[in-house]
Amino acid sequence: MSPSDATPPPAPGSTGEAIPASAARLFEKNGRAFLFDACHRQWFELDPAERAAARILFGEERDTACAGVTADEIEAAVERLSALREKGYFRDYPVMAPPFDPRLARVTQVILSRRCSLACRYCFRRSDRSSAPETMSRETMEATAEFAAERAATLGQACYLVLGGTSEIALSLPERDAFVALLARHSARRGISSLAISPLSNFAFHDRPDFLDRLQELGVCCTSLDGPPQAHDALRVHPDGRGSYQEVRRNAALLRERGHHLIASAVLTSLYTDIPGIYAHLFGLGFQHVGLKPVRSRPGEPWAIGRGLAAICDGYDRFAEGLLALDDAELLRRLMALRSSEVDYFSRFLARIFEQQALVRRCPAGIEELTVNTDGRLYLCPSLAGAPEACAGSVWEGVDDSALRRIYESMQGSKREPCNRCWAR
């Protein structure tokens, strides 16, 4: 066992003999055992006796893996771990959420249109149970621009919006241009600046150089590509069922040839779990940055994460081992390429470890951002647009702060089961 000799600051929590499951975690890999102190972010490598002692303190029974270790050795190891607990290690700790502040929730997503050139099988737009129109009316655009500008001015900040995140922006360029003009007018009237960006396109349009010209002009920097053809074409299809891989790859290459830097945003499903293969394929196509995120779907869907969780975990194990096998320069290049993509869940996990952050919640929905649907109603995020339980007002009535407060409290890790008992919370 090799901890620091320095005594850590005292940690609040239980003082019983057993180690709380939410205070420490035992990891075993390649014949080596490690104990992670979640509160102080301290790793301890354990010898066989200490491994057995840790299992005892966790309330687990000794198993055959402890064969060859004497009772006296285990007893001595228990005393060593107990001495560390007396110093303040391996104790539960609360994760306190800051007070709710409705002013933090700002409009960041505006759904101007739901037109899309694809019919992706896992698209969350299919869950919209509202009667919202396909395209936002001029009246609703006006009210949305006024609402966003007024809210930004009240907060004393620039009016910053994201457009087109839930549809194909190339198919709603007239609506985008009209809305940007309205937003600029309402913002200028209040003495603030405005910026409306459209970062994402699916690039699934055939022989339309005019689309590419506009996308480059708008600074579109991200496209959806789920990996090799067998991964992408299984779910990201045209309305007639044709895969879209070749179109996306071709149009992305054309933009890269123009010097445009692009991010590949891949959706991970249980249908294709070769994590190293997905990253290798996308980096091989020349994408400077790659982001991989799990699919949002109901558990019963064939592509749901839960159906392939073991294979996905194994895929991430192999991906991490592959990174560690790289030389330092290449490892840094890969990590920077991942870190530059805010949607990649693996890189966000690494960033939290590096920055030693304990998050009270993972999702910013309804807390840092809101979404305006095509009917002018406010929702927690684009994927929940149309869900009645996620509605938080409208651009005419304003934000329902009580609804945001309920969501804020329900998403706190310290109040959710089983999150509040998790070592990694």
| Per-residue pLDDT at 104 | 76
Domains along the chain? 1-94 (no CATH), 102-415 (3.20.20.70)
Strands 200-201 and 263-268 come out as: unpaired
Whether 239 contacts 217, CB under 8 Å? no
- Buried b or exposed e, range 49-86, using 16+ CB within 10 angstroms: bbbbbbbbbbeeeeeeebeebeeebbeebbeebeebbe
Q: How many helices (H) and strands (E) does the chain have?
A: 12, 14
Q: For 225, which DSSP code?
A: -
Entry field: residues in the chain = 425
The whole-angstrom separation of Cα 31 and Cα 97 is: 38
Q: How many CA atoms lie within 13 A of 414 on its CB side?
A: 12
In 10 A of CB 212, how many CB atoms?
Answer: 20
The whole-angstrom separation of Cα 55 and Cα 19 is: 9
Bridge partners of 8, per DSSP, are none
From residue 250, alpha-carbon distances to 115, 202, 235, 351 in Å are 22, 12, 19, 32
Low-confidence stretches of the chain (pLDDT < 70) are: 1-18, 59-67, 95-96, 126-130, 340-342, 357-362
| Per-residue pLDDT at 76 | 93
* pTM for this prediction: 0.82
| Per-residue pLDDT at 279 | 95
List all residues 6 or more positions away from 73 whose beta carbon is below 8 Å from its beta carbon. Answer: 49
Amino acid, res. 78: V
Query: Residue 73 belongs to what H/E stretch?
Result: helix 71-87
| Per-residue pLDDT at 341 | 62
| Per-residue pLDDT at 397 | 95
| Per-residue pLDDT at 13 | 39
